[in-house]
Structure 1
């Protein structure tokens, strides 16, 4: 199943059968180089929030009180996201009004396609890389706090996520693809409307 350039699909984070994030994104390309997706700041997404306003970053999802997906605006940066088949990560390019401002490596399970988009499970640990290819880990404390919880990575999965991140760090330090200047001058098709949540987005549980 291939997606069409310009098509809006849903990139979803799923954990133990619960959808925790829904990101409507515009397909830039879907080919041997990977699935490349675009999302501008100000467009819609949905995030799992509980009755007290806490997110999954603050509490394990099984401790959230009456959690539900809430519409929110994607803030701060436009993002270009590259997802490779069978890869345990996605690479994000961040853009501000001034242009490219850095990369982000989201460590996650290999994605699964469905009729509405793609699903993956976030592995919590991330890597932030600036335009000069300086890097730092993000959310190490969140991963450490969740290791051993039955809905989250165990110690072996956490170690594997770190090794995956270390591999991407080595690529960045070497200036190797995808950290070689690829896509840093990307501009979206000016005819594209914001990839917002479709009216029928809540019906997608039928394809989870």
Structure 2
């Protein structure tokens, strides 16, 4: 069954089967085209950190994978974000907005195809981020992001969750022509999106967030 608009949904990111990042979002739409989610600044966030509170970008990957970790409840501090997951696609496209809802940029997140689950009281979307991303500015200038992280982590195949970097690069390159000519989804659609006025920040999830990962 499609997820109803407005429903709170946990957007869970995994490294293999380990939960590492999960903000609370709201469903904008869920249909044959794909799933759109709204992530508002200030939304509850579950994330993995070291026992000392460091994040994965605070230390070399070789140290990160050997350091004990814990899950904490936190708050999302990034820009407002409209996330679109096309059906069965190995990427999502994000529309980023400032606090006044002015459109800032697109962001292409390369990832394993997402899988939706619904436990009744709680629903979610599960995926694995594949690190490599693309920034796309309003004038459609674009650039790769985090290619250095991808390269660094590939040196640790037993610990790293990206098994086929060539496929990740190929997926990214396949999106570039649409960016450069302004085709969908980089044609201005949804750049004027506003969430419904009655949407509030979702409540934090304290139960069910740690259910096993859903796979397609």
Q: Structure 2 length normalisation: TM-score?
A: 0.88
SS at match of 1:41: coil
Q: How does 1:15-26 map to 2 (within 5 A)?
A: 15-26=15-26
Does 1:42 pair with 2:49?
Answer: no
Distance (Å, rounded) in 1 between the aligned partners of 2:26 and 2:70: 24
Residues 196 and 105 of structure 1, relative CA distance in 2, 3 Å threshold: farther
Which one is further off, 68-77 or 185-194?
68-77
Structure 1 residues without counterparts, runs of 5 or longer:
none
Distance (Å, rounded) in 2 between the aligned partners of 1:88 and 1:26: 21
Per-residue CA deviation, residues 82-108 of structure 1 (Å, 9 max, x unaligned), is 001210100000000260000000100
Out of 156, 162, 172, the position equivalent to 1:153 is: 162
Does 1:63 pair with 2:68?
Answer: no
The answer to whether the 8 Å contact 1:41/1:78 transfers is: yes
Residues 183 and 84 of structure 1, relative CA distance in 2, 3 Å threshold: same
Does 1:206 pair with 2:215?
Answer: no
Specify the alignment match of 1:88 in structure 2.
Answer: 90
Specify which structure has the higher proportion of helix.
Answer: 1
Specify the alignment match of 2:139 in structure 1.
Answer: 132
Q: How does 1:125-204 map to 2 (within 5 A)?
A: 125-148=132-155, 149-150=157-158, 151-154=160-163, 157-200=164-207, 203-204=208-209
Residues 170 and 7 of structure 1, relative CA distance in 2, 3 Å threshold: same
1:126 CA displacement: 0.5
The answer to whether the 8 Å contact 1:39/1:80 transfers is: yes
The answer to whether the 8 Å contact 1:39/1:195 transfers is: no
Distance (Å, rounded) in 1 between the aligned partners of 2:10 and 2:103: 24
Residues 183 and 98 of structure 1, relative CA distance in 2, 3 Å threshold: closer
Residues 113 and 134 of structure 1, relative CA distance in 2, 3 Å threshold: same
1:71 CA displacement: 2.1
Q: CA RMSD in A?
A: 1.7
